[in-house]
Amino acid sequence: MNEESFFFIVGSPRSGTTVLGTIFDKHKDISQWYEPYFIWDKYFRETEDDERNREDATPLVQSYLRKMFIKYRNKRGTKLVVDKSPRNSLKIPFILEVFPNAKFVHILRDGRDATLSINREWKKRLAIAGAKEKSDSFDYLKAANVVKKWLIRQPYMMDRVRAFWFETHGNIFKKSKHLNRLRWNGDVGWGPRFKNWTDIYSKYSLLQFNAWQWANCVKRIDETWMSIPENNRIEIRYEDLITKPDRTIERLLAFMQVDLNDTFLSSIPKLKSDNFNKWEKEFTDLELFEIKPILDPMLTSFGYQI
């Protein structure tokens, strides 16, 4: 197995992992496998959180994951496969145990903008559930549209079937049995679940919990980053990607050892160069007061002005 065929984009939710994965997927030598949680968590469907360590990568788990990723790469017929799942931020040691020679791209975004965007995604899910905080009703039509958009990102029908079964286990009309509910102790949630998330979830507001999601993802990456061989890791800023896209993409492709060509650059989606510092206008003073103690330590660590 050529383990250097596999790249993992890590970063908190709403930090640019999706746009970066989409860009890579436009390259003739790269294919994206969009958040294959149904593969990663086949043996971890009912775990308490999304953190994984080396000891979780048992021989059975390693064999299955390697088999499925190689199969996907061969079907796509590309030199490289990229997975941009935000939950991977919490399991770098686990991934290294499965793919020791894998390469990692960390895309970092200002935690205030990321928290703002994470909070919006949560509210979308809560709207489907018909509640502001708790989940007492359910809009099956909206839910079906969300699931449809998620499933069509899988290019092969068998993977769509696997993903749908993984989410529902056949309990299509029993919302309490849906994986999202199982992941969030009967409620509706979104994004990575860091270790001991239940304590934070019960004590803090939703916005504060979203800030903790960003902080814990980047903290976990920071703690485990040096365990990746130096030549197999690279960090970029979301702000650089949108303000200096060509230069940033050139740097990434050089790291990935694939050629850059004009056709590729012309095919990538147009990025909003002003899509940063939105938190300055959209957060109230009270909201900033709530999240500042949560975000500031990691913002300072990564050199963001606070």
Distance (Å, whole) CA 275 – CA 278: 7
Taking only the tens place, the pLDDT of each residue in 139-175 is: 556 666 766 777 889 999 999 999 888 887 766 656 6
Whole-number mean pLDDT of the chain? Answer: 90
> Quick count: other Cβ atoms within 10 Å of Cβ 202?
9
Do residues 105 and 72 make contact, with C-beta atoms less than 8 angstroms apart?
A: no
pLDDT of 180 > 90? The answer is: no
Q: Strand ranges (DSSP E) for 39-159? A: 80-83, 103-108
Distance (Å, whole) CA 25 – CA 44: 28
* Residue 182 banded pLDDT, cuts 50, 70, 90: confident
Taking only the tens place, the pLDDT of each residue in 241-250 is: 999 999 999 9
Give per-residue burial for 242-258: e unless 16+ CB within 10 Å, then b: beebeebbeebbebbeb
Taking only the tens place, the pLDDT of each residue in 43-100 is: 998 899 999 999 999 999 999 999 999 999 999 999 999 999 999 999 999 999 999 9
Q: Residue 82 to residues 146, 197, 245: CA-CA distances in angstroms?
A: 23, 28, 19
The reported pTM is: 0.91
* Residue 101 banded pLDDT, cuts 50, 70, 90: very high
Q: Find the mean pLDDT for residues 236-255.
A: 95
Q: Which domains does the chain have, with CATH numbers?
A: 3-301 (3.40.50.300)
Q: What are phi and psi of 301, to 5 degrees?
A: -60, -35
pLDDT of 1 > 60? The answer is: no
How many CA atoms within 13 Å lie on the side-chain side of 178? 18
Q: What are phi and psi of 169, to 5 degrees?
A: 50, 35
**Residue of 239, 18, 213 whose CA lies nearest to 122:** 213
